[in-house]
Homo-oligomer: A and B are copies of this chain.
Amino acid sequence: MLPKLDPTDRAILAALQSDASQSLDSIAERLNVSLNTVWRRVRRLETEAVIEKRVALIDNEKIGLPLTAFVQIRTDNHSEEWASDLTAAVNAIPEIVEFYRLAGDVDYILKMMIASVADYDRVYQQLISRVQIYNVSASFAMEKLKFTTELPL
């Protein structure tokens, strides 16, 4: 199931997940392989969807969303239907950027990017207006100490 990745593939992935604006040429030179090789590997990694997409990362503070909040959700309703309602509600709210179902005590965790604590309430109201939630607890980030989209290879 997992695509085979040799050291060259991994080096290319490492390069592109760190900086996707660099030219294939410069990667080829750094890895001591031909441009053509890099190009073919990248194309393969894209068709296999190892590379999901290329995106620009935007500074959340510069666009007026300095606050990150984590919200833990517990439910007393473990039906499929409730779960898919919650997922649909979350997907409709762009401030919620991550959402996971958890093992254990807390059922779900989500992360939201917001302007302020008042803005948290606005998003929270949006969420609970769409789906019945049993128990919510929010934690606000005082300081972002690390954030990266780079995965270890």
Q: Which residues of A contact B (CB under 8 A)?
A: 2-3, 5, 13, 16-21, 48-60, 62-65, 68, 70, 87, 90-91, 94-106, 108-110, 113, 139-153
| 18 cross-chain CB contacts under 8 A | A2-B64, A17-B57, A19-B54, A20-B56, A50-B62, A52-B56, A52-B57, A52-B58, A55-B149, A58-B151, A63-B153, A65-B151, A98-B146, A98-B148, A99-B147, A103-B140, A104-B140, A106-B139
Q: Is A100's CB under 8 angstroms from B19's CB?
A: no
Given the complex, which residues of B lie within 8 Å of A144, measured CB to CB? 99-100
Which of B3, B58, B152 lies in contact with A50, CB distance below 8 A? B58
Q: Find out whether the CB atom of B56 lies under 8 angstroms from the CB atom of A97.
A: no
Number of copies: 2
CB-contact partner of A55 in B17, B48, B64, B90, under 8 A: B17
Are B58 and A17 neighbours in the complex by a CB distance under 8 Å? yes
Inter-chain contact A100/B58, CB cutoff 8 Å: no
Contact of A151 among B5, B50, B60, B152 (CB under 8 A): B60
- Whether A87 lies near B19 (C-beta < 8 A) is no
A146 touches B99 (CB 8 A): yes
Across the interface, name the chain B residue whose C-beta is closest to A108. B145
